[in-house]
Amino acid sequence: MKTTISSLLKIYENGEKFTVLTCYDAIFATLLTDCGVDVLLVGDSLGNVIQGEETTLSVTLENMIYHTRCVARGADEAFIMVDMPFGTSQLSPEHTFENARQLIAAGAHMVKIEGGRIMADTIQFLTKRGIPVCAHIGLMPQSIHQLGGYKIQGNTETSAKQLLEDAQILEKSGANLLLMEVIPASLAKQITETLSIPTIGIGAGIDCTAQVLVLHDMLGIYKKKKSKFIKNFMTESHSIREAVCNYVKAVKSGQFPDKEHEFQ
């Protein structure tokens, strides 16, 4: 059965968890879908793991369209979410809509947009015109130079309050999902309990509705500095397929992430 926003919401309403992994090609799209991954994220992380860049900032809309088409050809049942790369959602709601439209035409079912309350008007513009949106707060790789590096967000009283307010504003603007990256587990829990939409965590603790990892990190094949929230599922598996299936089981059962993968 094909995964849709409605089926993801049903999982959420039943108090269950769903799984997300990044995906960039047709072969892995088929494998991940067969293993029960609910959402395939065509991430701008392809800049790091596919193109070998230090950041995601050089990834273009054309890159994302190409990889979205590849994933769509291999994913019959999974829900496809696609990052809007740097510079494609920051100018105006109208400009963002045109870029998002091209991603939807390529096979995306939802776009993901980095940014807090400043993106509320844009998200509202898109969702009112039929384009589902996952908002992304916390550590935002597209803002890495402004943030001063890849480090925890929301770890002060002021910044935690701002992230909670941003989450509430983005939900009111029409965001269908909220992704939180590298924030204290207690804050992610508070935000998840405050909102009435599903949350996706990466380095945000166990209490999010769903978890996401970069595929290459989860398989232990990206050899650059390993972040605290990453678990290499290949160490206890005999094949890539088994590792992905074990990831799905661990997320759905609440075994991943555990305390060693959380930020306090």
Q: Residue 198 belongs to what domain range?
A: 5-261
Instruction: Using the predicted structure, report yes or no on whether residue 3 has a pLDDT greater than 90.
Output: yes
Q: Which residues are annotated as a binding site for Mg(2+)?
A: 44, 83, 114
- pLDDT tens digits, 155-206: 999 999 999 999 999 999 999 999 999 999 999 999 999 999 999 999 999 9
Distance CA 137, CA 17 (A): 20
**Residue for token pair 């990044």:** 22
**pLDDT tens figures, 64-118:** 999 999 999 999 889 999 999 999 999 999 999 999 999 999 999 999 999 999 9
Closest to 12 in 3D by CA, of 239, 198, 255, 224: 198
Q: Buried b vs exposed e over 7-38: b needs ≥16 C-beta within 10 Å?
A: ebbebbeeeebbbbbbbbbbebbbbbbebbbb
Q: What are 231's two structure tokens? A: 């678990």
Q: What is the pLDDT, as a whole number, of residue 264? A: 85
Two structure tokens written together for 173: 């603007």
- pTM greater than 0.85: yes
Number of domains in the chain: 1
Read off φ and ψ for residue 85, nearest 5 degrees. Answer: -70, 165
pLDDT bucket at 231, cuts 50 / 70 / 90: very high
Q: How far is the C-alpha of 64 from the C-alpha of 150, rounded, in Å?
A: 23
The stretches of 82-232 forming alpha helices (DSSP H) are 93-106, 120-127, 144-147, 157-172, 185-194, 215-218
Q: Return the beta strands (E) in the chain as ranges.
A: 18-22, 39-42, 79-83, 110-114, 133-138, 177-181, 199-202, 210-213
d(CA 51, CA 32): 21
Name the binding residues for 3-methyl-2-oxobutanoate.
Answer: 44-45, 83, 112
Query: What's the CA gap between 88 and 97, in Å, rounded?
Result: 9
Q: What is the CATH number of the domain that holds 153?
A: 3.20.20.60
Tell me the pLDDT of the chain averaged across its residues: 96
- Confidence check: pLDDT of 143 > 80: yes
Residue 226: half-sphere exposure toward Cβ, Cα within 13 Å: 14
Are 184 and 154 in contact by the 8 Å Cβ rule? The answer is yes
User: What is the token pair recorded at 126?
Assistant: 């898109």
Catalytic residues: 181
Tens of pLDDT along 20-78? 999 999 999 999 999 999 999 999 999 999 999 999 999 999 999 999 999 999 998 89
